[in-house]
Amino acid sequence: MSRFFFLLPEIRMGLANLVAHKLRTLLTMLGMIFGVGAVISMLSIGAGARQEALSFIETLGVNNVIIEAQETSGWPALQERRKVSPGLTFRDVRALKANLPQVELISARKRFKPGKVFPAATNDIPTVVGVIPEFPRIAGLHITAGRFFDAGEQAEGAPVAVLGDGARRAIFGLGDAVGQYVKVDDVWFHVIGVLGSSAAYQTEVEGVAVADRNMFIYVPLNAAILRLSNVESGYKDEIDGIYLKLPNSSQSVETAEAARAILNSTHHNAGDFTVIVPAGLLEEQRRTQSIFNFVMVAIAGISLLVGGIGIMNIMLATVLERTREIGIRRAIGAKRADIIRQFLLEATLISIAGGLMGIVFGFTLSRLIALTAGWSTIVSPSSIVLAFTVSVSVGLIFGLYPARQAAQLDPIEAMRYE
């Protein structure tokens, strides 16, 4: 603390000199402002993308392995594929269950896109998803009202439904949905439950197609197959997805490889399915994010480097301007260390002021990007600390040379300088 009070006169002198040349000081700080702002905004974009990817991977389930059918879109292509593969079927589910004892739960999935629902949906028509009663444990679904269907309703193919939060709002608005009925095409379903809201995504994440779970209507798998089959179903696989839940994510990669081998043997390597390993996606996402952060910080660091060069140039000009002042200070007893400290303090003050203004600029730029581009951005304390620390360090490093040049001036020659 005593050291700080000792520096107060020099800090006041430095501030007075900077304030006396406001425009020059501001122009010098611009490099630091833009550099710090660029670091913060770029890291906020990376953090937002990372958070969105992690949230999506969590919805898939880190302990899960997901098998998605790669279905054809027409009869000729289907005929060619059916010559070698039956597509995803319940036989595959039984084969996986028999040969993968490490799997805790397994659920087939069948999705339908209805032509109409009643009451009419205000926006898009929700997708009907047929699953087994244990599916909430597999997919991490949370019931907020009512309940999920049970094993008896699954065995009977009962016409009951559980609505995603978006489907509830699209069909029933703000009203209570539990106990109501919804007509899907020509079949009435009794609504017995409503799910909590899930994160929604607009594009692919880590190369995996994204679907808004909020717009799902979950029904018993048997009900989906027996009650909602239509002409289009003849062009589809018997089921379009299989979920495998494991005790922990450490077994996911090995289980995925085993599942792929089992299905390739029954599908004769037709390539009509994809195996998704959320734990693998998580690890890949972390590696990608690390590379992204490094590249973004390196690019933004160029702005800080330019700002540092600007500080050095201005400080050199300042030393030339104040040569006579330096000579007088040396003549009345100031040491070289005092001169170095004086000019380093001024360079540091420029860096600190530019860094603080850069933080505000970076935060504002991050919000503008989020509003205009629709991207998720997160300004983390670590990005602010990193950018500000680098800013001050750059000021110190690039201010050192001009300070040393000032300290090395000959006092007698400096006092004669005009």
pLDDT at position 73 is 67
The upper half-sphere exposure of residue 246, i.e. CA atoms within 13 Å in the direction of its Cβ, equals 23
pLDDT at 375: 76
Secondary element (H or E) of residue 10: helix 2-20
pLDDT at 107: 92
Q: Which stretches of the chain drop beneath a pLDDT of 50?
A: 1-2, 202, 205-207, 231
Compute φ and ψ for 164, nearest 5 degrees: -70, 160
- For the entire predicted model, the pTM comes to 0.67
Residue 199: per-residue pLDDT:
64
CA–CA distances in Å: residue 243 to residues 61, 63, 105, 148, 404 = 10, 10, 8, 18, 68
Q: What is the 3-state secondary structure (H, E, C) of 258-309?
A: HHHHHHHHHHCCCCCEEEECHHHHHHHHHHHHHHHHHHHHHHHHHHHHHHHH
Q: Residue 196: CB partners within 8 Å, gap ≥ 6?
A: 141, 142, 143, 144, 165
Question: Degrees (nearest 5) of the Cα angle 351, 357, 360?
Answer: 140
Going by C-alpha positions, the residue among 144, 28, 126, 52 that lies closest to residue 402 is 28
